[in-house]
Structures are given as structure tokens and as C-alpha cells.
């Protein structure tokens, strides 16, 4: 947790600043913005990129006049640590939905996993997941997904600088990814499972860095909420 002076931070946020948040599991990115608005009593709050509800970790927010400068953070590379589960698939590509298909993984070796991860290094194309906020005809894709509908999505080019396998304890694979903006780690994991021929979904994910800003620079929402009571 980052140490902070409540009065000074309150003043900075009120006047306009960049705020680094460590998002908790199951909070939506809008939940984070809503809580920051309530804690600091500010209306103008923007973000430099969302996180899925089932992901945790670093989000960059801007308040007040600083929202005009938030775009400079959007181009920065991002780093994640996560866990994927082999031999199982979900509709959303993560734990938001139930497992819909399983496969045997008895023939998968550590070499298979290491070699396959290397295939994703460099520029790759991804099809955005249906369970995402990308809009189709003005409607977020996740709304179509919740109705059981699938719409055509254009592939997007992204760049993967690092896809390191940290540990393997089948069916779980622990990894570290450094990537460009716009990369969907869920899609990377799903495509990884397809390459191995057994399927996969994202079990856990934490964003640990955006540019040179790390998780150690961030505040937990619960810590910020203590500001309200301490300043009464």
C-alpha cells in the first residue's frame, strides 16, 4: 500500500491530478470511477484504460483539468502476471462465465507450453472477445454476448514484447506478459489454448505496470475510503 497524506491527496485530487488505483476483483472500471467521485466529491474523472471485472491491478485515473492529458498514458505498454487453465474453455474466456468444454491434457508437455508461448512474440492479430466493451453499431459487444448473440469483429494488430512462462502446475500455467495498448489477455490465452489443441481460459490476471508506473505506486480503494472518515 502506498503511504499518503489524506489532506494533501484530497487537495490534489480536487484540484486535478493523476491517480493510480489498484483495482479489486469483481469491481468494474466504472465502479472504480464512481467510488473515486464519491470519496473526493469530484465529478470529472477519466481513465487511461479499463480492466475487466475479473482482473485486478493498476488503473490510471485523471481528475479535473488533468483529464485533458490522460491520452499520454493510453499509448504506454502494459505488463501483466496471470494464470491460465489448460483443457477447459468458457464463453467469456475468463471466469466470468461457466466452463462449457473440457479436453484431455495428458499429452501436453512443458516443452509444448514453452514453445507455443514463443509463437505469440511480436506483432499478432487478435479478434476482440464478445465479452468486451468494444462497440458494434453503437452497442457494447458484451450486451450481444449476454443475449447469446455473436457478431462479426474485425481482427486488430497488437504487439507482444514478452510472453514468459513462470511456472507450470497442470492444468494451471503461470505467465508474465508485456504488450502494447489494446491487447486482450483473454484473447491471448484463448488463442494459446487453441494452438496447443486443448483450449484454455484466463483464471487470474493482475496488471502490474503501465509504462514506468507500477502497482507499488497505486492506492487501494479501501484505503482511499478511509480519507472520508479521517477528514470528518
- Residue 182: closest CA among 220, 213, 221, 153: 153
Whether residue 171 sits in one domain with residue 123: yes
Whether residue 185 sits in one domain with residue 160: yes
> What is the distance between the alpha carbons of residues 160 and 188, in angstroms, rounded to a whole number?
10
Whether residue 187 sits in one domain with residue 170: yes
Quick: pLDDT tens for 163-222.
Answer: 999 999 999 999 999 999 999 999 999 999 999 999 999 999 999 999 999 999 999 999
* Residue 25 is assigned to a structural domain of this protein: yes
Whether residue 49 sits in one domain with residue 161: no
Respond yes or no: is residue 52 known to be catalytic: yes
Whether residue 135 sits in one domain with residue 183: yes
Whether residue 190 sits in one domain with residue 131: yes
Whether residue 93 sits in one domain with residue 42: no
- Residue 189: closest CA among 120, 99, 97: 120
Whether residue 135 sits in one domain with residue 190: yes
Whole domain around residue 61: which residue ranges?
Answer: 6-74+214-230
CATH number of the domain encompassing residue 135: 3.30.2350.10
Going along 33-133, which residue ranges are E strands?
A: 45-47, 55-63, 78-86, 88-90, 99-102, 122-126
Mean residue pLDDT across the chain: 90
Quick: pLDDT tens for 115-169.
Answer: 999 999 999 999 877 666 666 566 666 666 666 667 677 889 999 999 999 999 9
Whether residue 99 sits in one domain with residue 177: yes
- As for how many domains the chain has, the answer is 2
Question: pTM here?
Answer: 0.90
pLDDT for residue 135: 66
Residues above pLDDT 90, as percent of the chain: 72
- Residue 72: closest CA among 159, 161, 181, 185: 181
Q: Label residue 148 exposed, middle or buried (CB < 10 Å: 0-12, 13-18, 19+).
A: exposed
Whether residue 205 sits in one domain with residue 94: yes
pLDDT for residue 230: 59
Whether residue 140 sits in one domain with residue 98: yes
* Residue 1 is assigned to a structural domain of this protein: no
Catalytic position from the list 52, 94, 217, 223: 52
Quick: pLDDT tens for 63-96.
Answer: 999 999 999 999 999 999 999 999 999 988 999 9
Which residues does residue 213 pair with via DSSP β-bridges, in sequence order? 210
Amino acid at each position: 500500500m502506498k503511504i499518503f497524506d489524506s489532506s494533501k491527496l484530497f487537495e490534489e485530487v480536487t484540484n486535478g491530478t493523476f491517480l493510480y488505483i489498484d483495482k479489486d476483483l469483481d469491481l468494474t472500471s466504472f465502479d472504480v470511477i464512481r467510488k473515486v467521485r464519491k470519496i473526493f466529491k469530484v465529478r470529472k474523472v477519466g481513465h487511461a484504460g479499463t480492466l475487466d471485472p475479473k482482473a485486478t491491478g493498476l488503473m490510471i485515473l485523471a481528475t479535473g483539468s488533468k483529464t485533458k492529458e490522460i491520452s499520454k498514458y493510453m499509448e504506454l505498454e502494459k505488463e501483466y502476471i496471470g494464470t491460465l487453465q489448460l483443457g477447459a474453455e468458457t464463453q467469456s474466456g475468463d471466469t466470468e462465465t461457466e466452463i462449457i468444454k473440457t479436453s484431455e491434457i495428458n499429452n501436453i508437455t512443458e516443452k509444448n507450453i514453452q514453445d507455443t508461448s514463443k509463437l505469440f512474440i511480436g506483432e499478432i492479430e487478435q479478434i476482440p472477445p464478445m465479452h468486451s466493451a468494444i462497440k458494434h453499431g453503437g452497442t457494447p459487444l458484451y450486451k450481444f454476448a449476454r443475449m447469446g448473440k455473436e457478431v462479426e469483429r474485425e481482427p486488430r494488430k497488437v504487439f507482444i514484447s514478452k510472453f514468459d512462462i513462470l511456472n507450470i502446475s497442470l492444468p494451471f500455467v503461470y505467465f508474465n506478459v508485456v504488450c502494447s495498448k489494446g491487447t486482450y489477455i483473454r484473447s491471448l490465452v484463448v488463442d494459446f489454448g487453441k494452438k496447443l489443441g486443448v483450449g484454455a481460459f484466463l483464471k487470474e490476471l493482475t496488471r502490474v505496470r503501465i509504462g514506468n508506473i507500477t502497482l507499488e505506486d497505486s492506492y487501494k480503494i479501501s484505503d482511499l475510503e478511509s480519507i472520508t472518515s479521517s477528514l470528518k
